[in-house]
């Protein structure tokens, strides 16, 4: 895959790192699994407390080895997912092998469970955000960190995955590289926590600033309550002279005889204008004390938020990641009242092994070719724009609404027989509003020629190059649901 998120993630380095891990740790048991929202650690059996850290955090999407426990500031910064499903599935299993897909940046762990089942834990090392899946020996998806899984994460690794790379490197080579990954992981963690706190305080400070401005204006208006009432009483005394359509009135104050120039709403009657001024007077008189108290409280909050942001800026100047994380924890403790209330833990997008998180309808064509079908606009969007490979083939019934269909090609679209194309087109016709027609025109193209227009609704796709097939809607012979 093109593009990396860290400088040492070229394929040859990854192959050698994988070979090193395989040589050192294959055959060890899994002591326990610790799983967080965007990371996990596979704790292995051993006095040195070895483990594999699998990170999906943007900016540190990689896998590295470490021994011992997390430094305390890091441990405090890594929330755990309660009731994670990988713990019961993998604790007690044996790590049989560690590999990397040939020509692809996907790390694979092969494990043997206590009931003699073979499972595969696959981690995507390309893209801004990594993804991790767990498959059984039939390639059934048991768990996924994110629902839009890349096709490489849904197939059992080939034999070549377990033989690439060489563990023979200068002494300390892998340890130095893993230490660099741990350092980047900690730096990224500190950066993300700082950004989260800064964004939260800045947003609430912006709200407070607007409140202070509005309350200051409201207090000025509230202090003019007597003036509004005297204007309303003067209008009442001159109500007989007011007519609809007037935009102002020149009258006299009943208390001291001073002239008043009163703006009016020409769209309403004189009586309605008078009542409007009385209403402003009542609101001002009633709200004066409340507004003053609210203004005072928000001015105090405004000052506290400014001081908190200044202190947070000083924390961000620290260069050492562990020192910065410790300072961020202390800052958050001191300013807990200013931070938003703790949000509900991120909902796990996973299901149990008996009820796997499986997106899309899936079909197997001629025992070899897999076709995925979106079931709604959201799945269409995920399937076309996130879960599919650029060289998969995309199908859609022409001129009518319907499901997006992706035929997975393993990067070789030119190898797909025409008969398979016709059967996949039949699925696109079947899952469209033209399903009851005798023949349906279906467009198809490689997925790289399909785009989503900017700001378009979910499920929208535009085909830049296309070919056409006329097909009967239905599940053709040789096609079965999986």
Q: Mind listing the pLDDT tens digit for each residue in 294-324?
A: 899 999 999 999 999 999 999 999 999 999 9
**Window from 113-122, 203-212, 277-286, 370-379 with minimum mean pLDDT:** 277-286
How high is the mean pLDDT of the chain?
A: 87
In which domain, by residue range, is 34 found? 11-169
**Window from 23-32, 75-84, 446-455 with minimum mean pLDDT:** 75-84
Last residue of a domain, which of 307, 338, 369? Answer: 338
Nearest to 207 by CA among 30, 349, 338: 338
> What is the predicted pLDDT for the residue at 170?
63
Is 178 a domain residue?
A: no
- Kindly write down the DSSP assignment for every residue of 108-137, as one continuous string: EEEEE-TTS-EEEEEEE-SSSS--EEEEET
Mean pLDDT to the nearest integer, 337-357: 49
| Beta-carbon count within 10 A of 392 CB | 25
Mean pLDDT to the nearest integer, 425-433: 95
Question: Could you read off the pLDDT of 211-267 as tens digits, one per residue?
Answer: 999 888 888 877 777 888 888 889 999 998 988 999 999 999 888 889 999 999 999
Same domain, 155 and 199: no
Same domain, 16 and 164: yes
| Confidence bin at 3 (pLDDT 50/70/90) | very low
Same domain, 240 and 322: yes
Is 120 a domain residue?
A: yes
Is 186 a domain residue?
A: no
Is 1 a domain residue?
A: no
Same domain, 201 and 333: yes
Mean pLDDT to the nearest integer, 73-89: 86
Same domain, 162 and 270: no
Please check the confidence at residue 394 and state whether its pLDDT lies above 70: yes
**Window from 148-152, 158-162, 208-212, 233-237 with minimum mean pLDDT:** 148-152
> What is the predicted pLDDT for the residue at 309?
95
Strands 450-451 and 361-365: unpaired
Same domain, 238 and 91: no
Is 143 a domain residue?
A: yes
Please check the confidence at residue 206 and state whether its pLDDT lies above 90: yes
| Confidence bin at 60 (pLDDT 50/70/90) | confident
Same domain, 292 and 387: no
251 in Cβ contact with 234 (< 8 Å)? yes
**Based on the structure, what is the number of domains in the chain?**
3
Please check the confidence at residue 108 and state whether its pLDDT lies above 70: yes
Is 4 a domain residue?
A: no
Same domain, 298 and 428: no
> What is the predicted pLDDT for the residue at 95?
95
The CA distances from residue 73 to 179, 186, 187, 321, in Å, are: 17, 9, 12, 9
* Rounded-to-integer distance, Cα 122 and Cα 153, Å: 6
Same domain, 96 and 19: yes
> What is the predicted pLDDT for the residue at 155?
93
Same domain, 334 and 368: no
Last residue of a domain, which of 289, 304, 338? Answer: 338
Question: Could you read off the pLDDT of 280-294 as tens digits, one per residue?
Answer: 888 777 777 788 888
Same domain, 197 and 231: yes
Task: Express as a percent the part of the chain with pLDDT over 90.
Answer: 56
> What is the predicted pLDDT for the residue at 48?
86
Same domain, 139 and 92: yes
Is 345 a domain residue?
A: no
> What is the predicted pLDDT for the residue at 317?
95
Q: Residue 136, exposed/middle/buried by CB under 10 A (0-12, 13-18, 19+)?
A: middle
> What is the predicted pLDDT for the residue at 351?
41
Is 3 a domain residue?
A: no
> What is the predicted pLDDT for the residue at 218?
81
CATH of the domain at 116: 2.30.310.10
* Rounded-to-integer distance, Cα 446 and Cα 437, Å: 26
> What is the predicted pLDDT for the residue at 86?
87
Sign, CA torsion 35/41/46/48 = negative
């Amino acid at each position: 895959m093109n593009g990396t998120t860290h400088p040492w993630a070229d394929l040859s380095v990854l192959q050698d790192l994988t070979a090193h891990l395989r040589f050192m740790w294959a055959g060890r048991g899994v002591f326990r699994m610790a799983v967080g929202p965007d990371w996990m650690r596979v704790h292995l059996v051993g006095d040195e407390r070895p483990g594999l850290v699998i990170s999906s955090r943007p900016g540190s999407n990689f896998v590295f080895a470490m021994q011992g426990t997390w430094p305390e500031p890091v441990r405090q910064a890594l929330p755990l997912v309660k009731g994670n499903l990988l713990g019961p599935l993998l604790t007690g299993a044996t790590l049989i092998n560690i590999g990397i897909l040939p020509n692809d940046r996907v790390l694979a762990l092969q494990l043997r469970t206590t009931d003699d089942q073979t499972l595969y834990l696959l981690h995507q090392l390309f893209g801004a955000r990594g993804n991790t899946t767990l498959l059984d020996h039939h390639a059934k998806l048991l768990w996924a960190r994110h629902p839009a899984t890349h096709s490489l994460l849904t197939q059992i690794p080939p034999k070549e995955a377990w033989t690439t790379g060489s563990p023979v490197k200068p002494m300390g080579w892998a340890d130095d590289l893993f230490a660099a990954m741990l350092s980047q992981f900690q730096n990224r963690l500190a950066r993300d926590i700082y950004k989260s706190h800064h964004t939260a305080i800045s947003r609430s400070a912006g709200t407070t600033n607007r409140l202070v401005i509005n309350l200051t204006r409201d207090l000025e208006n509230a202090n003019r309550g007597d003036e509004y009432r005297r204007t309303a009483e003067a209008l009442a005394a001159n109500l007989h002279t007011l007519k609809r359509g007037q935009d102002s009135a020149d009258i006299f104050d009943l208390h001291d005889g001073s002239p008043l120039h009163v703006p009016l709403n020409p769209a309403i009657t004189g009586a309605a204008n008078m009542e409007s001024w009385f209403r402003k007077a009542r609101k001002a008189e009633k709200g004066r004390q409340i507004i003053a108290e609210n203004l005072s409280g928000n001015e105090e909050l405004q000052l506290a938020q400014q001081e908190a942001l200044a202190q947070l800026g000083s924390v961000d100047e620290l260069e050492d990641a562990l020192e910065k994380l410790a300072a961020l924890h202390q800052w958050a403790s001191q300013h807990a009242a200013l931070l938003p209330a703790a949000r509900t833990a991120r909902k796990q997008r996973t299901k149990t092994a008996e009820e796997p998180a499986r997106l899309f309808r899936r079909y197997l064509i001629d025992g070899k070719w897999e076709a995925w079908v979106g079931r709604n606009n959201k799945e269409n969007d995920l399937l076309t724009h996130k879960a599919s490979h650029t060289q998969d083939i995309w199908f859609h019934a022409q001129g009518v609404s319907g499901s997006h269909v992706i035929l997975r090609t393993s990067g070789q679209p030119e190898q797909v027989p025409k008969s398979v194309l016709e059967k996949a087109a039949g699925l696109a016709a079947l899952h469209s509003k033209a399903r009851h027609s005798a023949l349906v025109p279906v467009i198809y193209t490689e997925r790289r020629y399909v785009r989503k227009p900017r700001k378009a609704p979910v499920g929208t796709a535009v085909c830049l190059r296309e070919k056409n097939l006329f097909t009967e809607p239905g599940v053709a012979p040789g096609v079965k649901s999986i």
